[in-house]
Amino acid sequence: MKAPETARDEQSTPWNVAVFAPLRQAYTYAVGPDMDPQAGMRVLVPFGKRRLTGILLSPAEPAHTGSRPLKSIIELLDDRPSVPPELLSFLCRAAGYYLHPVGEVLRTALPPGIDPVERAGALRGPRVRNTVEKVFRPTPAGVERLDEISRRAPSRGAVLEAVIADAPVSAVALRHRFKDAAGHLRRLQADGLVAVDICEARVDPFVSGVRRDTPPTLNAQQQQAVDAIGGAIDAGIWAGFLLHGITGSGKTEVYLHAVERARQAGRGALVLVPEITLTPQLVGRYRARFGDDLAVLHSGMSEKERHDQWRMLHGGRVHVAIGVRSAVFAPVASPGLIVVDEEHDGSFKQEKGFPYHARDMALLRASMSAAVAVLGSATPSLESHFNAVRGRLRLLSLTERATSGRLPDVELVNLAVHRGGPGFQSIISAPLHDQIRAALDRKEQIILFLNRRGFAPNLLCRSCGEAVRCESCAVSMTLHHKPPSITCHYCGARRVPPEHCPHCGAADLADIGFGTQKAEEIVSSLYPDARVARLDRDVANARNAEAILDRLRSRDIDILIGTQMVTKGHDFPEVTLVGVLRSDVGLHMPDFRAAERTFQLLTQVAGRAGRAERKGSAVVQTFSPHHPAVAAAQHHDYAAFAQTELEARRELGYPPFGRLAMVRISGPDAAKVESAARTLMGRLRDARDNAGQPSVSLLGPAPSPLSRLQGRWRWQILLKSPGHGPLRAVLEGVLGDIESPPSGVRIRLDIDPVSML
Ligand code: ADP
Ligand code: ZN
């Protein structure tokens, strides 16, 4: 019986809508009588003279709708919510935490193609339909008559036999195995031999014939970690873990087991990794465990590929996702586990558009979904380390290498003492040279690391002392040799190298310092018998980097020179020597995290050596052998490093002891930017007084260390606060100023900033 119609149709409740635009406010719209709205559905709404896509947030309180007649939603674009309830409440909280317009947060979190208005001409995006699976099971008659059917119609009999053997089995799986499976299934169903269930069933993850691997037996420490994580998943309550395991200790194996535990508990799992570790090799390890029950999300994929992966998760057909930063927003259904691998990595921070930190968002999402978060690293960020110290995360330690390998001995070479080695301009000191020679003679492989690409970082005039600078950024141009050019590493500008100094006109330009290109040339000429290759962003993107790393793995390369790309997560059993050409690049940046980053980098690079039976060694060339970050890395001493660094941070009130927010003011006109920055500073002072938050310090306004970028002048104001609450209270008072800056000026708010430039 149908319920009697009510008067609801004439006066259905209006809804709050977040439109895809950088606006802080949600707008209220009337809903047509024939529509069946649900939170998370996409709608098309009139907005001024335009039409915009938006997301239904919640029914509006009548008191808030005012007296003016509401505009109506033009069209409901979904049959069921594009943004599932779990994801929607998480994204709204994220928007609140970062004080960022919710429409833009939603837009960032959803896949390309979700906004049909975005593309001119195409007004409709893909409609989200009920993407449930058809699964088949045999009826008693089907089981009874199998022999008879197989005699009469062998191919139909084969399909029936498969249904009996594998029930419940999805139509997709059967189509993979049998020609005309659909036709046979129709007949079998009509004859009452099979029955169909519509459900979001878990399909066999290995239908497409991926090769399954056998998980290794875990060692005691790994088992302990998996038990703790698995126990928390089974308990179905929020828990956070820090998995601190030395390089090569088998953290990935722990994640794989934990994901399996989540699946067994009937929950989904999400694994976040840094962009450069999301290699086919890593995906292969997950694929071999979870087959087709895995979605992969990264920025190198086409829009269609990304959209397809998103749809599979959204439809509940796939339960495990691995991806980079933005995958923290993936619509994994009922997530039970969120892993952040290499959680210290800088690439988890989004800088443009909606600035968020995927590690922090992983913790927030897990806590809101009664899921377990696992942050893993050999060099945890001080934020996570401190969270473990004060009990907000449970610490799990892996202190041994999983295979027989041991951590390498690390030798520091003081460049102030070892000047002018055999390598031109001291690129290779005598001690490093001896070790390279010896490793080559033993037919072992070598990685040389330098955190600076290009040929030379400066083209300097020997007459006037000026460097050749970028015309739109306040940085010097890097000289590149193949093809000859000068390039700005901040804006990408590229020019033919000048012959005369742009400042004084003298024909006396010299390249100063060295990058990976120059190092490659020098090393090739020093070791003519060795096969030398280079890996950095100029020769490879994240995808084809794997081809170069494969050549290293298959021993086609003796010496690989590279930037960060060589340092992460890869396993090269035959590499026994790692050389760090200059440990000081980045150590003296105007950034309170410079020491932490140096320690992490050195530890990760050294960790590439000696992954198999042969003992590895690392040689670190440095001008700062006594710097705490360098000294601690030499002894693989995370605890010592963390202690020194935490003390320094405590004294200055920097994270993890305080919270920061950066307000960046930029524009093409230097005077306007400065004046806007000073005005905003005054407004911030007022807001601080009004909010009664004297503990929040306001630092600035000052020109940013990178004072000009892509033609825009940059100023900044740093807010430092003992906690998030006071910071927020002050910032809420200036949101209007941030949203409507003076013309020609842009103001951006970055909560928990990572870049200080
Ligand atoms: P991490 O992620 O900590 O750097 P991995 O998980 O990549 O370490 O493990 C390093 C190597 O050790 C890999 O080749 C992996 O297959 C292997 N490994 C991990 N756990 C075990 C185990 N319990 N038994 C044997 N080999 C293992
Ligand atoms: Zn530039």
Q: Tell me the pLDDT tens digit for each residue of 583-628.
A: 888 787 788 999 999 999 888 888 877 766 677 899 999 998 999 9
Ligand nearest to the CA of 487: 2
Neighbouring residues of 183: CB distance < 8 A, sequence distance ≥ 6: none
The residue contributing the CA closest to ligand 1 atom 27 is 402
Specify whether 738 is located in the same domain as 594: no
Q: Band of the pLDDT at 255, cuts 50, 70, 90?
A: very high
Provide the pLDDT for residue 483. 80
pLDDT in tens, 419-463: 765 555 568 998 999 999 999 999 999 999 998 999 998 889 999
Specify whether 177 is located in the same domain as 250: no
3-state secondary structure of 215: coil
Q: Is the CB of 350 under 6 A from ligand 1?
A: no
The residue contributing the CA closest to ligand 1 atom 15 is 250
Among 141, 170, 200, identify where a domain stops: 200
Q: Is the CB of 607 under 6 A from ligand 1?
A: no
Neighbouring residues of 591: CB distance < 8 A, sequence distance ≥ 6: 597, 755, 756, 757
Is residue 4 assigned to a domain? no
Provide the pLDDT for residue 133. 56
Atom of ligand 1 nearest to the CA of 252: 6
The residue contributing the CA closest to ligand 1 atom 10 is 248
Specify whether 364 is located in the same domain as 241: yes
Is residue 180 assigned to a domain? yes
Is residue 679 over pLDDT 50? Answer: yes
Q: Band of the pLDDT at 129, cuts 50, 70, 90?
A: very low
Distance 247 CA to ligand 1 centre (A): 9
Neighbouring residues of 302: CB distance < 8 A, sequence distance ≥ 6: none
Cα separation, 449 vs 607, whole angstroms = 12
Cα-Cα-Cα-Cα dihedral sign, residues 733, 739, 742, 744: positive
Cα separation, 37 vs 347, whole angstroms = 37
- The 3-state secondary structure of 445-487 reads EEEEECCCCCCECEEEECCCCCECECCCCCCECEEECCCCEEE
Q: Is the CB of 218 under 6 A from ligand 1?
A: yes
Q: For all residues of the chain together, what is the average pLDDT?
A: 87
Is residue 125 over pLDDT 50? Answer: no
The residue contributing the CA closest to ligand 1 atom 9 is 250
**Under the phi-then-psi rule, with left for phi > 0, alpha for psi from -120 to 50, and beta for the rest, what region is 744?**
left
- What's the domain count of the chain? 5
pLDDT in tens, 497-506: 999 998 899 9
CA dihedral 434, 435, 437, 439 (to 10 degrees): 160
Strand partners for 27:
17
Cα separation, 135 vs 191, whole angstroms = 17
Cα separation, 423 vs 432, whole angstroms = 10
Best residue for ligand 1 mutational test, from 255, 279, 403 (most atoms within 8 Å of Cβ): 403
Atom of ligand 1 nearest to the CA of 249: 3
Atom of ligand 1 nearest to the CA of 255: 6
- The 3-state secondary structure of 71-86 reads CECCEECCCCCCCCHH
Specify whether 428 is located in the same domain as 393: no
Ligand nearest to the CA of 612: 1
The proportion of the chain whose per-residue pLDDT surpasses 70, expressed as a percent, equals 90
Instruction: Please give the residue range of the domain that contains residue 339.
Output: 220-398
pLDDT in tens, 61-108: 766 556 677 889 998 888 889 999 999 999 999 999 999 999 999 988
Is residue 121 over pLDDT 60? Answer: no
Of the listed ranges 147-151, 242-246, 305-309, 714-718, the least confidently predicted one is 305-309
Of the listed ranges 264-278, 315-329, 396-410, 443-457, the least confidently predicted one is 396-410
Distance 454 CA to ligand 2 centre (A): 15
Provide the pLDDT for residue 204. 53
Cα Rg, the chain, nearest whole Å: 29
Report yes or no: 265 and 234 within 8 Å, Cβ to Cβ: yes
Specify whether 558 is located in the same domain as 527: yes
Is residue 203 over pLDDT 50? Answer: no
Specify whether 266 is located in the same domain as 299: yes
Distance 709 CA to ligand 2 centre (A): 6
Place of tokens 């012959």: 499
pLDDT in tens, 64-74: 556 677 889 99
Is residue 466 assigned to a domain? no
Q: Specify the CATH number for the domain of residue 444.
A: 3.40.50.300
- The 3-state secondary structure of 618-662 reads EEEEECCCCCHHHHHHHCCCHHHHHHHHHHHHHHHCCCCCCEEEE
Consecutive H or E run containing 93: helix 85-97
Ligand nearest to the CA of 473: 2
Q: Band of the pLDDT at 570, cuts 50, 70, 90?
A: low
Closest of 559, 565, 560 to residue 542, by C-alpha:
565
Provide the pLDDT for residue 644. 93
Q: Specify the CATH number for the domain of residue 18.
A: 3.40.1440.60
Cα separation, 596 vs 573, whole angstroms = 28
Distance 667 CA to ligand 2 centre (A): 15
3-state secondary structure of 743: coil
Is residue 638 assigned to a domain? yes
Consecutive H or E run containing 43: strand 42-47
Query: Model pTM?
Result: 0.84
Specify whether 139 is located in the same domain as 229: no
Q: Band of the pLDDT at 132, cuts 50, 70, 90?
A: very low
Is residue 711 over pLDDT 50? Answer: yes
Strand partners for 479:
456, 486
Atom of ligand 1 nearest to the CA of 253: 6
Is residue 347 over pLDDT 70? Answer: yes
Atom of ligand 1 nearest to the CA of 254: 6
Specify whether 300 is located in the same domain as 419: no
In the chain, DSSP finds a helix count (H) and a strand count (E) of: 22, 30
Provide the pLDDT for residue 163. 82
The residue contributing the CA closest to ligand 1 atom 4 is 248
Interhelix angle 670-691/724-732, nearest 10 degrees: 120
Q: Specify the CATH number for the domain of residue 736.
A: 3.30.70.600
Specify whether 111 is located in the same domain as 145: no
Is residue 691 assigned to a domain? yes
Specify whether 259 is located in the same domain as 228: yes
- Tokens linked to 389: 């110290």
Is residue 202 over pLDDT 70? Answer: no
Q: Provide DSSP, 541-556.
A: -TTTHHHHHHHHHTT-
Cα separation, 648 vs 599, whole angstroms = 15
Distance 487 CA to ligand 2 centre (A): 8
Ligand nearest to the CA of 253: 1
Report yes or no: 586 and 473 within 8 Å, Cβ to Cβ: no
Is residue 756 assigned to a domain? no
Cα separation, 101 vs 83, whole angstroms = 17
Specify whether 247 is located in the same domain as 388: yes
Is residue 703 over pLDDT 80? Answer: yes
| φ and ψ of 192, to 5 deg | 75, 25
Is residue 572 over pLDDT 70? Answer: yes
Of the listed ranges 71-75, 170-174, 381-385, the least confidently predicted one is 170-174
Q: Provide DSSP, 100-148.
A: --HHHHHHHHSPTT--TTTSSS----------PEEEEEE-HHHHHTHHH
Is residue 120 over pLDDT 60? Answer: no
- The 3-state secondary structure of 410-447 reads EEEEECCCCCCCCCHHHCCCHHHHHHHHHHHHCCCEEE
Closest of 497, 499, 469, 502 to residue 485, by C-alpha:
497
Cα separation, 677 vs 657, whole angstroms = 27
Provide the pLDDT for residue 671. 96
229 DSSP assignment: H
Is residue 11 over pLDDT 70? Answer: no
Is residue 381 assigned to a domain? yes
Q: How many residues does the chain have?
A: 757
Best residue for ligand 1 mutational test, from 253, 281, 571, 608 (most atoms within 8 Å of Cβ): 253
The residue contributing the CA closest to ligand 1 atom 19 is 250
Among 52, 85, 119, identify where a domain stops: 119
Distance 254 CA to ligand 1 centre (A): 9
Ligand nearest to the CA of 708: 2
The residue contributing the CA closest to ligand 1 atom 21 is 402
Distance 402 CA to ligand 1 centre (A): 5
Specify whether 634 is located in the same domain as 667: no
Is residue 275 assigned to a domain? yes
Provide the pLDDT for residue 673. 97
Best residue for ligand 1 mutational test, from 252, 254, 257, 375 (most atoms within 8 Å of Cβ): 252
Closest of 290, 298, 431 to residue 358, by C-alpha:
298
